[in-house]
Structure 1
Amino acid sequence: MQAVLRAARQARTFTEKSLRRWGEGAELIEAAVLIVCELATNAICHGAQETGPGSEPGPEAAFTLRLALQPEVLHIEVRDGSAVLPVQRAAGREDGCGRGLLIISALAESWTCGPDPDGGKWVRASLSRVADALMG
């Protein structure tokens, strides 16, 4: 499980360093890092579940992160080996999970997902680079 935790941390660090290098502001960086954290965690957890409850994550738990910076929007995409598409749900007060896509919905302008023709799936979130949109 250590490698899995390291992969999620590396995705967050990669995102933060890339956006700083590209000259983006703190608000966009913070939102993007949170979205990457949720997408990476979902990719790891749901890929791992395919091997069976309580088992260690297998190769299908691997994921790919892609950041695409355009003039008005940042696209964040995660691809993983699971064919199961994510569904936003309402987690109860006592639930330990189930809030990731709700967080993404609150931070991103939009999110979408689909099957990867080569197997697995992709999940993409779009963040506005316009300061007013980030302020709420």
Structure 2
Amino acid sequence: MPETDSPCPVPNPAERSCWLPRCRTSPRAARQELRSFLLPHPSGEVLLPTGELLVSELVTNAIRHARTPLDRLILVRYRLSPDPDTLRIEVHDADSEKPTLRNTSDSDEAGRGLLLVHELATHWGCSPRPHGIGKFVWCHISPELAAA
């Protein structure tokens, strides 16, 4: 068997991505992926509760509000920066419309997802997808904020 000069690519342990269908079980799948990504890292346990909540909200928004065909997939990407252990979550969908914070009343049963992201993330925003249609909504979570 011939050998090759180039080694097999090694996955970056500080990044992970997954494609999810637009269905009601995808927020749970995104949380499970995040859990398996974060727990091997030293700061993973501190980032996990806030990370699970925010990835659930962002994936749910992509499922409920993206005006795209149901067969389009959602890309979820996680990245852990070593200095100062900041978790970045990105949720990509094929809808170009940016999300907006809504004013909700105490009796509203929905509509608080982005408010939670706004309150619990260190930073968050929305960007157009490079080389493609749609957008991605991202947030950063730091251990100091997650532990509070």
Q: TM-score, normalised by structure 1?
A: 0.82
Measure the CA separation in 2 of the matches of 1:46 and 1:13: 22
Measure the CA separation in 2 of the matches of 1:35 and 1:27: 14
Which residue does 1:83 correspond to in 2?
A: 96
The CA RMSD over aligned residues, in Å, is 1.9
Which residue does 2:135 correspond to in 1?
A: 121
Q: Does 1:16 align with 2:16?
A: no
Which residue does 2:105 correspond to in 1?
A: 92
Which residue does 1:135 correspond to in 2?
A: 147
Identity of aligned residues (%): 34
Measure the CA separation in 2 of the matches of 1:105 and 1:27: 19
Measure the CA separation in 2 of the matches of 1:43 and 1:97: 15
2:81 to 70, 75, 78: 70
Q: Which amino acid aligns with 1:39?
A: L
Measure the CA separation in 2 of the matches of 1:26 and 1:120: 32
Q: CA deviation at 1:135?
A: 3.5
Which residue does 1:111 correspond to in 2?
A: 124
Instruction: List alignment gaps of at least 5 residues for structure 1.
Output: 52-56
Q: Which amino acid aligns with 1:113?
A: C
Q: How many residues align?
A: 125
Alpha-carbon distance change, 26 to 121 in structure 1, aligned in 2, over 3 angstroms: same
Q: CA deviation at 1:107?
A: 1.3
Q: Displaced runs of 4+ in structure 1, greater than 6 A?
A: none
Q: Does 1:29 align with 2:48?
A: yes
**Helix, strand or coil: the match of 2:24?**
helix
Q: 2:126·2:138 contact (CA, 8 Å) conserved in 1?
A: yes
Q: Deviations over 1:69-91 (max 9, x none)?
A: 00211110010011111011121
**Helix, strand or coil: the match of 1:91?**
coil
Q: TM-score, normalised by structure 2?
A: 0.76
Which structure shows the bigger proportion of residues in helix conformation? 1
